[in-house]
Amino acid sequence: MLTTLWLLSVGSVLAMTFALMGRDSFNATVNRVNLERARWRALGCARRAQAAIDEGLGITENAQAAAAAWRAVYMAIDASPLLSDCDIAIEAAGSRLDLNGASDESIARLASAVYGVERGDSMSDAFGDWRDSDDVTRPLGAERAWYAAQRRAPPSNGPLADARELAFVRGFEDFAAFDSLVTTEPGRVSLATARATVLQSIPGISMELADRIVERRTAAPIMDLADMLPLVSSASAGELLARFADASRLTTPDPDAWILTARASAGLTPVAAQLEWRLVREGRQVRVIRLRSPM
């Protein structure tokens, strides 16, 4: 009798084990299917967004009107009935400062705009040491754990792969203060979309001029920085004139590109997917020049 009970107990345990294994395998399969569905939904929304932008550019009458439509592609997306059920976000390249392309001076100016001039230079030096480091032991501790959580191999030196890496640089630990100001997305600073703090990172653009650009562009696009000279004090005008070549080279009236992000989910227990496109304008159409799918 005891042997029989023991065998029945063992059989029950084995049956339960195999049942749980089967359920886990089934759930994993369902999650993979739902992830694939979510990816296709995100792709469908991204394609519809591209079509809406193309339509907005296509109905323009001339090159000037096409440029104006490009500066405000978010309006075409907001107005499109094709996207009512989509989770779409779009941001102009150059709305934030590219950490990898920025000079030490621009980093110092940005830090000064956030924390004050007395901290700008030291923070810029720390960032320069970080970006150009040849220390193969970098990163360590919490930084390495962060990379592990992101499922990415940590770099030993060179460009930042993610703007959030800035939080590991001495002086930039409070990344929340810079989260909306920096990126690793290449692009000249956009006069049409960058906030005043980002504009101040450009040599020659004072706080007064940056504020005036943000105010002025709501009425008309800033096509030439020289047009702003009569609208600011002599001190700000002189600062811009002294660095006009640099300021013109590092800024653009029209965004170099737009970064489109589409998100979607599928399943009773939602599985989410996201894709990111870099869009550039070619005449009255847009072209996808980079596709990134973090999920």
**Tens-digit pLDDT profile for residues 178-212:** 999 999 999 999 999 999 999 999 999 999 999 99
Tell me what the pLDDT averaged over the chain comes to. Answer: 85
Q: How many domains is the chain built from?
A: 1
Residue 49 lies in a domain: yes
- Residues of the chain with pLDDT > 90, as a percent, come to 61
* 174 falls within a domain: no
Spatial distance between the Cα atoms of 146 and 141, rounded to a whole number of angstroms: 9
In this structure, is residue 22 part of a structural domain?
Answer: yes
Contact 232, 207 (CB under 8 A): no
Residue 223, C-beta contacts closer than 8 angstroms, at least 6 positions apart: 253
Beta strand pairing status for 251-252 and 189-190? parallel
**Residue 245 located in a structural domain:** no
- Closest by CA position to 209, among listed 251, 249, 170: 251
Give the domain extent around 277.
Answer: 2-93+257-292
CB-based burial of residue 55 (10 Å sphere; 0-12 exposed, 13-18 middle, 19+ buried)? middle
> Would residue 126 count as lying in a domain?
no
What pTM, to 2 d.p., does this model score? 0.81
Indicate the range of 26-40, 101-115, 218-232, 273-287 predicted with least confidence.
Answer: 26-40
26, part of any domain: yes
Q: Examine the pLDDT at 140 and tell me if it is beyond 60.
A: no
- Is 224 within the bounds of a domain? no
Q: Confirm whether 15 is domain-assigned.
A: yes
Is 257:280 a contact under the CB 8 Å cutoff?
yes
Does 237 have pLDDT greater than 90?
yes
* Confidence (pLDDT) at 6: 56
Which of 12-26, 51-65, 186-200 is the least confident region? 12-26
Higher-pLDDT residue of 261 and 149 is: 261
Query: Is the separation of the CB atoms in 289 and 278 below 8 Å?
Result: yes
Amino acid at 109: R
